[in-house]
Amino acid sequence: MGAICSSCCGTSRNTAYEPLLLDNERDAVADLLQYLENRSETNFFTGDPLRSLSTLSFSDNVDLQRSAALAFAEITEKEVREVGRDTLEPIMFLLQSHDVEVQRAASAALGNLAVNSENKLLIVKLGGLEPLIRQMLSPNVEVQCNAVGCITNLATHDDNKTKIAKSGALVPLTRLARSKDMRVQRNATGALLNMTHSDENRQQLVNAGAIPVLVGLLGSSDTDVQYYCTTALSNIAVDAANRRKLAQGEPRLVQNLIGLMESSSLKVQCQAALALRNLASDEKYQIEIVRSNGLPPLLRLLRSSFLPLILSAAACVRNVSIHPLNESPIIDAGFLHPLIDLLSHEDNEEIQCHSISTLRNLAASSERNKTAIVEAGAVERIKDLVLSVPLSVQSEMTACLAVLALSDDLKPQLLEMGICHVLIPLTASPSVEVQGNSAAALGNLSSKSEDYTAFNEVWAQPEGGLEGYLRRFLESGDTTFQHIAVWTVVQLLESGDATLEGHIRASEQLLPLIRQLGEQGGAASGGADGGEGRSETSGVGEGEGEGSEGGDAEGEIESLAKRISELLEA
């Protein structure tokens, strides 16, 4: 990024003007010619070589300035290092020349030096932005190209971004992004991209009129320009206010980005999907992406062997799946098996999280969709993986199981698969979310099941079994966890399963805890939240019991505890 448009041809050796030179200038010319002949052994950034270049730079003779500027450009093209004020000041003096050749070569030299991180800061500190902005307004394309290229390089340093945004550079950059010269266009769009990495700078960029320019250039024939514009728009779409502006003023944005997912460039495909992902933070765009036929290209990217494409597509589909109206279209488009396969993508935790979160969203509103997800093999895959995946993935997997366990028709299948054997250990997870989701899933499975054999099998094992989990939650001091536990015990007793009732009656640990809650109500509130968790971020799955949110939580716990006593006395 920030390529310099012009190459420099060596220092002029024309001596026609020599009689007009001052003595020190004549000596500087002679010395510089000698240094250039031995350039491989010469350090031009210090000592006598730099003094010779400085003498020519500060001369009133335009020809000498040209020689100095060309020499700086040629030297910096071959060697870039951290330099000091003594090197930068003569170059920036040359930037202020009225001669186009001097401007072109000086901005080329400065752009070359701006590749170095420390130089980026010093150039801005020494006032380099103002002459560069003036050169962006030049009618000469080469001068424009080099000035924009230099600003592009300067804008890659975080400490410079705000200074550039406040310098007045954004309006000419936006104008030059429409340049007919592809080199200028690349540098300008690259500079605009570099300015989109903070909230404040994005807002100033939007105020400078960059959005319609960037959207218009999505149709560029140049893949670099496509990439810069797509990535810049993706960053701009992070902000809700900017998404509203995009929705109001750019009606073909989604269609254009969907088209770019079919680009010949992998990096453009990837950024197009990420831009759609950010847009799909809003409900309007979630619907529009599906209605604009965005699912087929997303599915193709999801099946790719290229990790960045998989990740960008998985992230986009996850956001699109948040809208209930998109659940069935995503399933019908063939996403289930690829998403389930990606659960095993052990090299990338983020892909696993996006995939399982999507499956959870797809299961949220429809019995048909829950059934389709189970029949596609999602539960078996989760059961195989859930004890070994990272905590963030465990949280999403257990939330998905909690949602699936709400289905009365699917409960027998889930229990037969042995899902309780993995949920029980996870109720002791170091993650509060995983604990809550696992308990919610067990609670949902315990309600109105046809056969409670699976619960009897796990009463004591694994890892303390169902009894141990219930004891931990009753002792937790967390009203949400206490509520899940007493509600689950009520479901187990109301099942009419004599063996389960016998286990509960015989428990020396559970009954005193339940009796205590019945007498005193729940402990102080805190801990896990409830809810469906359809948003972008993972949350505890729904279904930890009827009435678990709102109202008097402690009163509900006390009421359920008393119900247990009634059932045991009946």
Q: Please give, one letter per residue, the 3-state secondary structure of 120-150.
A: HHHHHHCCCHHHHHHHHCCCCHHHHHHHHHH
* Domain boundaries along the sequence of the chain: 22-167
Say which residues have a Cβ less than 8 Å from residue 390's Cβ, sequence separation at least 6: 349, 352
Which has the closest alpha carbon to 392: 437, 341, 442?
437
- Chain centre to alpha carbon of residue 337: 25
**Ordered per-residue pLDDT tens for the chain, 570 residues:** 555 554 433 334 444 444 467 878 888 888 888 878 887 788 888 998 899 999 999 999 999 999 999 999 999 998 899 999 999 999 999 999 999 999 999 999 999 999 999 999 999 999 999 999 999 999 999 999 999 999 999 999 999 999 999 999 999 999 999 999 999 999 999 999 999 988 889 999 999 999 999 999 999 999 999 999 999 999 999 999 999 999 999 999 999 999 999 999 999 999 999 999 999 999 999 999 999 999 999 999 999 999 999 999 999 999 999 999 999 999 999 999 999 999 999 889 999 999 999 999 999 989 999 999 999 999 999 999 999 999 999 999 999 999 999 999 999 999 999 999 999 999 999 999 999 999 999 999 999 998 999 999 999 999 999 999 999 999 998 999 999 999 999 999 999 999 999 999 999 989 999 999 888 754 433 333 333 444 432 332 333 333 334 447 788 999 999 999 989 886
Burial zone of 569 (CB within 10 Å; 0-12 exposed, 13-18 middle, 19+ buried):
exposed
Q: Does residue 413 contact residue 378 with C-beta atoms inside 8 Å?
A: no
- What is the per-residue pLDDT for 553? 78
Nearest-10 Cα torsion for 378, 380, 384, 387: 70
> In CATH, which superfamily holds the domain spanning 22-167?
Leucine-rich Repeat Variant (1.25.10.10)
Question: Distance (Å, rounded) from C-alpha 188 to C-alpha 321?
Answer: 36
- Each residue's pLDDT tens digit, 346-402: 889 999 999 999 999 999 989 999 999 999 999 999 999 999 999 999 999 999 999
- Ranges of beta strands (E only) in 78-204 are none
DSSP, res 376: T
Cα(82)–Cα(310) distance, integer angstroms: 39
Please, what is the end-to-end C-alpha distance for the chain in angstroms?
78
Q: Which residues contact 173 (CB under 8 A, 6 or more apart)?
A: 136, 148, 151, 188, 191, 192, 195, 208
Which residue type occupies 142? E
Contact between 364 and 349 under an 8 Å Cβ cutoff? The reply is no
Cα 62–chain centre separation: 51
Phi, psi of 364 (to 5 degrees): -70, -40
pTM of the model: 0.85
pLDDT at 26: 83
- d(Cα 521, Cα 565) in Å, to the nearest integer? 14
Query: Buried b / exposed e across 174-186, counting CB within 10 Å, b at 16+?
Result: bebbebeeebbbb
Structural tokens at position 332: 């019908």
Say how many residues make up the chain.
570
Residue 225's identity, in one-letter code, is V
Contact 485, 492 (CB under 8 A): no
* Separation of alpha carbons 541 and 553, rounded Å: 18
**CB distance 471 to 433 below 8 Å:** no
Apex 393 CA angle, 430 and 408, nearest 5: 95
What's residue 541's pLDDT?
Answer: 31
